[in-house]
A and B are shown apart, each in its own frame.
Chain A
Amino acid sequence: MGDPLPPDVQAAREALDEGRAWQARERERRIGAYYKVVGATVFALGALFAPFSFEPLWRGRGLGGLRLGLMVAGALLVLGVALWQRRRLFRRLGVEPDALWGVPAGARWSVVLLTVVSVAVAVEASRPDLVTSLALGGGALLLALQAARSRDAAHAGLALALGAVAIMLAFVRGSSWPVVAALLAFGLAMALTGRRRARSPA
Protein backbone atom coordinates (compact mmCIF):
# COMPACT_ATOMS: atom_id res chain seq x y z
CA MET A 1 0.00 0.00 0.00
CA GLY A 2 1.45 3.36 -1.06
CA ASP A 3 2.26 6.20 1.27
CA PRO A 4 -0.59 8.76 1.04
CA LEU A 5 1.67 11.80 0.61
CA PRO A 6 1.88 14.36 -2.22
CA PRO A 7 4.54 13.32 -4.76
CA ASP A 8 6.96 16.17 -4.01
CA VAL A 9 6.80 15.57 -0.26
CA GLN A 10 7.20 11.83 -0.76
CA ALA A 11 10.23 12.41 -3.03
CA ALA A 12 11.76 14.83 -0.53
CA ARG A 13 11.29 12.38 2.31
CA GLU A 14 12.90 9.56 0.33
CA ALA A 15 15.85 11.81 -0.55
CA LEU A 16 16.23 12.70 3.12
CA ASP A 17 16.15 9.02 4.16
CA GLU A 18 18.74 8.23 1.51
CA GLY A 19 20.90 11.11 2.77
CA ARG A 20 20.70 9.78 6.32
CA ALA A 21 21.68 6.32 5.10
CA TRP A 22 24.72 7.86 3.40
CA GLN A 23 25.62 9.65 6.65
CA ALA A 24 25.41 6.32 8.52
CA ARG A 25 27.77 4.68 5.99
CA GLU A 26 30.15 7.64 6.17
CA ARG A 27 30.09 7.52 9.98
CA GLU A 28 31.02 3.83 9.91
CA ARG A 29 33.86 4.54 7.45
CA ARG A 30 35.16 7.32 9.69
CA ILE A 31 34.99 5.13 12.80
CA GLY A 32 37.24 2.75 10.89
CA ALA A 33 39.61 5.60 10.03
CA TYR A 34 39.63 6.65 13.70
CA TYR A 35 40.51 3.12 14.82
CA LYS A 36 43.28 2.95 12.21
CA VAL A 37 44.99 6.17 13.30
CA VAL A 38 44.63 5.62 17.05
CA GLY A 39 45.64 1.95 16.71
CA ALA A 40 48.68 2.85 14.62
CA THR A 41 49.70 5.43 17.24
CA VAL A 42 49.44 2.88 20.06
CA PHE A 43 51.38 0.35 17.98
CA ALA A 44 54.10 2.91 17.22
CA LEU A 45 54.34 3.71 20.92
CA GLY A 46 54.79 0.02 21.70
CA ALA A 47 57.48 -0.28 19.02
CA LEU A 48 59.22 2.77 20.48
CA PHE A 49 59.20 1.29 23.98
CA ALA A 50 60.25 -2.18 22.84
CA PRO A 51 64.05 -1.56 22.87
CA PHE A 52 63.81 -0.13 26.36
CA SER A 53 62.23 -3.30 27.72
CA PHE A 54 65.52 -5.13 27.04
CA GLU A 55 67.68 -2.34 28.40
CA PRO A 56 68.82 -2.88 31.99
CA LEU A 57 68.97 0.87 32.61
CA TRP A 58 65.30 1.08 31.77
CA ARG A 59 64.47 -0.74 34.99
CA GLY A 60 67.66 0.10 36.80
CA ARG A 61 68.25 2.30 39.78
CA GLY A 62 67.60 5.99 39.43
CA LEU A 63 65.71 5.78 36.16
CA GLY A 64 62.28 4.87 37.44
CA GLY A 65 61.25 8.49 36.97
CA LEU A 66 62.37 8.37 33.33
CA ARG A 67 60.30 5.27 32.69
CA LEU A 68 57.24 6.78 34.33
CA GLY A 69 57.79 10.05 32.47
CA LEU A 70 57.97 8.28 29.11
CA MET A 71 54.85 6.27 29.89
CA VAL A 72 52.95 9.42 30.84
CA ALA A 73 54.22 11.22 27.70
CA GLY A 74 53.13 8.23 25.60
CA ALA A 75 49.68 8.15 27.20
CA LEU A 76 49.27 11.89 26.59
CA LEU A 77 50.34 11.42 22.97
CA VAL A 78 47.71 8.73 22.39
CA LEU A 79 45.06 10.81 24.17
CA GLY A 80 45.98 13.86 22.08
CA VAL A 81 45.81 11.92 18.82
CA ALA A 82 42.47 10.37 19.84
CA LEU A 83 40.95 13.77 20.70
CA TRP A 84 42.32 15.43 17.56
CA GLN A 85 41.06 12.67 15.29
CA ARG A 86 37.67 12.64 16.94
CA ARG A 87 37.27 16.35 16.36
CA ARG A 88 38.62 16.15 12.81
CA LEU A 89 36.40 13.23 11.75
CA PHE A 90 33.21 13.80 13.72
CA ARG A 91 32.90 17.54 14.33
CA ARG A 92 30.10 17.88 11.78
CA LEU A 93 28.90 14.31 11.40
CA GLY A 94 28.72 13.58 15.13
CA VAL A 95 29.07 10.17 16.73
CA GLU A 96 27.66 8.59 19.86
CA PRO A 97 30.21 7.06 22.27
CA ASP A 98 28.25 3.81 22.00
CA ALA A 99 28.81 3.76 18.24
CA LEU A 100 32.48 4.70 18.50
CA TRP A 101 33.54 2.32 21.26
CA GLY A 102 30.64 -0.09 21.61
CA VAL A 103 30.52 0.74 25.31
CA PRO A 104 26.96 1.28 26.60
CA ALA A 105 26.42 4.16 29.01
CA GLY A 106 26.04 1.78 31.95
CA ALA A 107 29.47 0.28 31.37
CA ARG A 108 31.50 3.48 31.02
CA TRP A 109 32.94 2.86 34.47
CA SER A 110 34.79 -0.13 33.01
CA VAL A 111 36.71 2.22 30.70
CA VAL A 112 37.77 4.31 33.69
CA LEU A 113 38.77 1.14 35.54
CA LEU A 114 40.80 -0.10 32.57
CA THR A 115 42.58 3.24 32.28
CA VAL A 116 43.52 3.24 35.96
CA VAL A 117 44.66 -0.38 35.79
CA SER A 118 46.69 0.34 32.64
CA VAL A 119 48.57 3.08 34.45
CA ALA A 120 49.16 0.70 37.36
CA VAL A 121 50.53 -1.89 34.92
CA ALA A 122 52.79 0.68 33.32
CA VAL A 123 54.29 1.57 36.68
CA GLU A 124 54.32 -1.88 38.27
CA ALA A 125 55.11 -4.13 35.33
CA SER A 126 58.62 -4.90 36.52
CA ARG A 127 57.39 -7.62 38.89
CA PRO A 128 54.66 -10.26 38.97
CA ASP A 129 51.51 -8.86 40.47
CA LEU A 130 48.52 -11.12 40.98
CA VAL A 131 46.18 -8.26 41.89
CA THR A 132 47.00 -6.31 38.71
CA SER A 133 46.77 -9.52 36.72
CA LEU A 134 43.30 -10.28 38.10
CA ALA A 135 42.16 -6.70 37.44
CA LEU A 136 43.37 -6.94 33.85
CA GLY A 137 41.68 -10.32 33.51
CA GLY A 138 38.44 -8.70 34.66
CA GLY A 139 38.87 -6.00 32.03
CA ALA A 140 39.48 -8.67 29.38
CA LEU A 141 36.27 -10.41 30.46
CA LEU A 142 34.28 -7.16 30.15
CA LEU A 143 35.66 -6.61 26.67
CA ALA A 144 34.88 -10.22 25.70
CA LEU A 145 31.28 -9.80 26.91
CA GLN A 146 31.01 -6.58 24.93
CA ALA A 147 32.42 -8.31 21.84
CA ALA A 148 29.85 -11.12 22.18
CA ARG A 149 27.02 -8.62 22.64
CA SER A 150 27.80 -6.45 19.64
CA ARG A 151 29.72 -8.95 17.45
CA ASP A 152 32.52 -6.43 17.44
CA ALA A 153 35.93 -7.73 16.32
CA ALA A 154 37.71 -4.75 17.90
CA HIS A 155 36.57 -5.70 21.38
CA ALA A 156 37.34 -9.36 20.73
CA GLY A 157 40.90 -8.43 19.70
CA LEU A 158 41.37 -6.15 22.68
CA ALA A 159 39.97 -8.81 25.03
CA LEU A 160 42.46 -11.37 23.70
CA ALA A 161 45.35 -8.90 24.01
CA LEU A 162 44.41 -7.87 27.53
CA GLY A 163 43.80 -11.46 28.60
CA ALA A 164 47.20 -12.55 27.27
CA VAL A 165 48.96 -9.72 29.10
CA ALA A 166 47.07 -10.56 32.30
CA ILE A 167 48.36 -14.15 32.14
CA MET A 168 51.91 -12.96 31.36
CA LEU A 169 51.88 -10.55 34.26
CA ALA A 170 50.96 -13.31 36.69
CA PHE A 171 54.14 -15.24 35.93
CA VAL A 172 56.77 -12.97 34.39
CA ARG A 173 59.38 -11.21 36.48
CA GLY A 174 61.81 -8.39 35.89
CA SER A 175 60.77 -6.71 32.69
CA SER A 176 58.37 -4.18 31.28
CA TRP A 177 57.87 -6.23 28.13
CA PRO A 178 54.25 -7.17 28.96
CA VAL A 179 53.41 -3.46 28.67
CA VAL A 180 55.13 -3.35 25.28
CA ALA A 181 53.28 -6.51 24.23
CA ALA A 182 50.00 -4.97 25.36
CA LEU A 183 50.63 -1.77 23.38
CA LEU A 184 51.62 -3.70 20.24
CA ALA A 185 48.65 -6.05 20.47
CA PHE A 186 46.18 -3.27 21.28
CA GLY A 187 47.48 -1.10 18.47
CA LEU A 188 47.49 -3.90 15.92
CA ALA A 189 43.99 -5.09 16.88
CA MET A 190 42.62 -1.55 16.58
CA ALA A 191 44.41 -0.74 13.33
CA LEU A 192 43.33 -3.99 11.63
CA THR A 193 39.76 -3.63 12.82
CA GLY A 194 39.74 -0.03 11.62
CA ARG A 195 40.98 -1.15 8.23
CA ARG A 196 38.12 -3.63 7.99
CA ARG A 197 35.49 -1.16 9.24
CA ALA A 198 36.71 1.59 6.94
CA ARG A 199 36.02 -0.72 4.00
CA SER A 200 32.70 -1.93 5.35
CA PRO A 201 29.81 -1.41 2.92
CA ALA A 202 27.43 -1.06 5.89
Chain B
Amino acid sequence: MKAAWSGLDPALHAPARIAIASRLVAVERMRFAALRDATGLTPGNLAGHLEALERAGYVEQRDAILSLRRGRLVAMTPRGREAFDAYVRALEALVADLKAQRAG
Protein backbone atom coordinates (compact mmCIF):
# COMPACT_ATOMS: atom_id res chain seq x y z
CA MET B 1 0.00 0.00 0.00
CA LYS B 2 1.35 3.42 -0.94
CA ALA B 3 1.74 5.79 1.99
CA ALA B 4 -0.48 8.81 1.59
CA TRP B 5 0.99 10.59 4.59
CA SER B 6 4.51 11.93 4.74
CA GLY B 7 4.82 11.36 8.50
CA LEU B 8 4.30 7.60 8.25
CA ASP B 9 7.19 5.21 7.60
CA PRO B 10 6.49 3.66 4.15
CA ALA B 11 8.35 0.48 5.10
CA LEU B 12 5.75 -0.18 7.81
CA HIS B 13 2.64 1.46 6.37
CA ALA B 14 0.82 -1.66 5.22
CA PRO B 15 -1.61 -3.84 7.22
CA ALA B 16 0.48 -7.00 6.71
CA ARG B 17 3.67 -5.31 7.91
CA ILE B 18 1.90 -3.81 10.90
CA ALA B 19 0.60 -7.31 11.71
CA ILE B 20 4.14 -8.72 11.44
CA ALA B 21 5.73 -5.92 13.48
CA SER B 22 3.08 -6.00 16.23
CA ARG B 23 3.87 -9.71 16.75
CA LEU B 24 7.64 -9.39 16.59
CA VAL B 25 7.92 -6.43 19.03
CA ALA B 26 6.26 -8.59 21.69
CA VAL B 27 8.84 -11.40 21.57
CA GLU B 28 12.60 -11.90 21.42
CA ARG B 29 12.34 -13.98 18.26
CA MET B 30 9.75 -16.11 16.54
CA ARG B 31 9.73 -19.08 14.24
CA PHE B 32 8.69 -18.32 10.68
CA ALA B 33 5.88 -20.90 10.94
CA ALA B 34 4.60 -19.42 14.21
CA LEU B 35 4.64 -15.93 12.70
CA ARG B 36 2.74 -17.25 9.68
CA ASP B 37 0.09 -18.77 11.97
CA ALA B 38 -0.11 -15.64 14.13
CA THR B 39 -0.57 -13.26 11.20
CA GLY B 40 -2.64 -15.51 8.93
CA LEU B 41 -0.44 -14.61 5.95
CA THR B 42 0.55 -17.16 3.32
CA PRO B 43 4.20 -18.30 3.44
CA GLY B 44 5.03 -16.52 0.18
CA ASN B 45 3.35 -13.30 1.24
CA LEU B 46 5.01 -13.38 4.63
CA ALA B 47 8.44 -14.06 3.10
CA GLY B 48 8.01 -11.11 0.73
CA HIS B 49 7.11 -8.69 3.52
CA LEU B 50 9.95 -9.99 5.70
CA GLU B 51 12.44 -9.41 2.90
CA ALA B 52 11.24 -5.82 2.55
CA LEU B 53 11.49 -5.28 6.29
CA GLU B 54 14.94 -6.88 6.32
CA ARG B 55 16.11 -4.53 3.56
CA ALA B 56 14.91 -1.61 5.72
CA GLY B 57 16.99 -3.01 8.59
CA TYR B 58 13.92 -3.67 10.75
CA VAL B 59 14.06 -7.46 11.02
CA GLU B 60 16.70 -10.15 10.80
CA GLN B 61 16.25 -13.77 9.79
CA ARG B 62 18.50 -16.75 10.38
CA ASP B 63 18.31 -20.50 10.29
CA ALA B 64 18.82 -22.04 13.71
CA ILE B 65 17.94 -24.94 15.98
CA LEU B 66 15.49 -24.04 18.73
CA SER B 67 13.93 -26.59 21.10
CA LEU B 68 15.57 -29.40 19.09
CA ARG B 69 13.89 -28.28 15.87
CA ARG B 70 15.54 -26.61 12.94
CA GLY B 71 13.80 -23.65 11.37
CA ARG B 72 13.99 -20.05 10.33
CA LEU B 73 13.92 -17.58 13.19
CA VAL B 74 12.75 -14.02 12.73
CA ALA B 75 13.55 -11.18 15.13
CA MET B 76 12.97 -7.44 15.21
CA THR B 77 16.16 -5.38 15.32
CA PRO B 78 16.54 -2.50 17.83
CA ARG B 79 16.18 -0.15 14.87
CA GLY B 80 12.97 -1.91 13.87
CA ARG B 81 11.56 -1.61 17.39
CA GLU B 82 12.28 2.12 17.45
CA ALA B 83 10.80 2.57 13.98
CA PHE B 84 7.61 0.71 14.91
CA ASP B 85 7.20 2.73 18.12
CA ALA B 86 7.62 5.93 16.10
CA TYR B 87 5.19 4.67 13.46
CA VAL B 88 2.51 3.88 16.06
CA ARG B 89 2.91 7.32 17.64
CA ALA B 90 2.72 9.04 14.24
CA LEU B 91 -0.34 7.02 13.20
CA GLU B 92 -2.20 7.79 16.42
CA ALA B 93 -1.35 11.50 16.14
CA LEU B 94 -2.51 11.52 12.52
CA VAL B 95 -5.81 9.82 13.38
CA ALA B 96 -6.41 12.31 16.18
CA ASP B 97 -5.63 15.25 13.85
CA LEU B 98 -7.90 13.97 11.09
CA LYS B 99 -10.76 13.38 13.49
CA ALA B 100 -10.32 16.87 14.95
CA GLN B 101 -10.32 18.39 11.46
CA ARG B 102 -13.49 16.53 10.46
CA ALA B 103 -15.19 17.48 13.72
CA GLY B 104 -14.13 21.13 13.48
Asked if B46 is an interface residue, CB under 8 A from chain A, the answer is no
CA distance A4 to B98 in the complex (A): 8
Q: Find out whether the CB atom of A22 lies under 8 angstroms from the CB atom of B38.
A: yes
Contacts A16-B88, A92-B27 given; indicate if A22 touches B22 (C-beta within 8 A): yes
Q: Find out whether the CB atom of B91 lies under 8 angstroms from the CB atom of A5.
A: no
Q: Find out whether the CB atom of A8 lies under 8 angstroms from the CB atom of B27.
A: no
Write the B1-23 contact mask toward A (1 if CB under 8 angstroms, else 0): 11111001000011110110111
* A11 CB contact (under 8 Å) in B15, B26, B98, B99: B15
> What residues on B are CB-neighbors of A93 within 8 Å?
26-27
Asked if B94 is an interface residue, CB under 8 A from chain A, the answer is yes
Residue ID in chain B nearest A4 by CB atoms: B102
* A8 CB contact (under 8 Å) in B4, B21, B88, B102: B4
Asked if A61 is an interface residue, CB under 8 A from chain B, the answer is no
Asked if A149 is an interface residue, CB under 8 A from chain B, the answer is no
User: In A51-105, which residues have CB < 8 Å from any B CB?
Assistant: 91-93
Write the A123-164 contact mask toward B (1 if CB under 8 angstroms, else 0): 000000000000000000000000000000000000000000
Q: Find out whether the CB atom of B98 lies under 8 angstroms from the CB atom of A5.
A: yes
User: In B76-104, which residues have CB < 8 Å from any A CB?
Assistant: 88, 91, 94-95, 98-99, 102
Asked if A112 is an interface residue, CB under 8 A from chain B, the answer is no
Asked if B73 is an interface residue, CB under 8 A from chain A, the answer is no
Q: A interface vs B, CB < 8 Å?
A: 4-6, 8-9, 11-16, 18-20, 22-23, 26, 91-93
The number of residues on chain B lying at the interface, defined by a beta carbon within 8 Å of a beta carbon of chain A, is: 27
Contacts A15-B18, A16-B18, A19-B19 given; indicate if A9 touches B94 (C-beta within 8 A): yes
Beyond A4-B102, A12-B8, A16-B18, 8 extra complex contacts between A and B, CB < 8 Å: A4-B99, A6-B5, A6-B98, A8-B13, A9-B98, A16-B91, A23-B22, A93-B27
User: In B22-49, which residues have CB < 8 Å from any A CB?
Assistant: 22-23, 25-28, 38
How far does the Cβ of A26 sit from chain B's closest Cβ, in whole Å?
A: 6
Q: Find out whether the CB atom of A9 lies under 8 angstroms from the CB atom of B4.
A: yes
Contacts A15-B18, A15-B19 given; indicate if A9 touches B88 (C-beta within 8 A): no
> What residues on B are CB-neighbors of A5 within 8 Å?
95, 98-99
Q: Find out whether the CB atom of A14 lies under 8 angstroms from the CB atom of B91.
A: no
Q: Find out whether the CB atom of B25 lies under 8 angstroms from the CB atom of A92.
A: yes
Contacts A8-B2, A12-B18, A91-B28 given; indicate if A19 touches B94 (C-beta within 8 A): no
Most buried by B among A5, A11, A15, A20: A15
> What residues on A are CB-neighbors of B21 within 8 Å?
19
> What residues on A are CB-neighbors of B22 within 8 Å?
15-16, 18-20, 22-23
Q: Find out whether the CB atom of B91 lies under 8 angstroms from the CB atom of A13.
A: yes
> What residues on A are CB-neighbors of B26 within 8 Å?
23, 26, 92-93
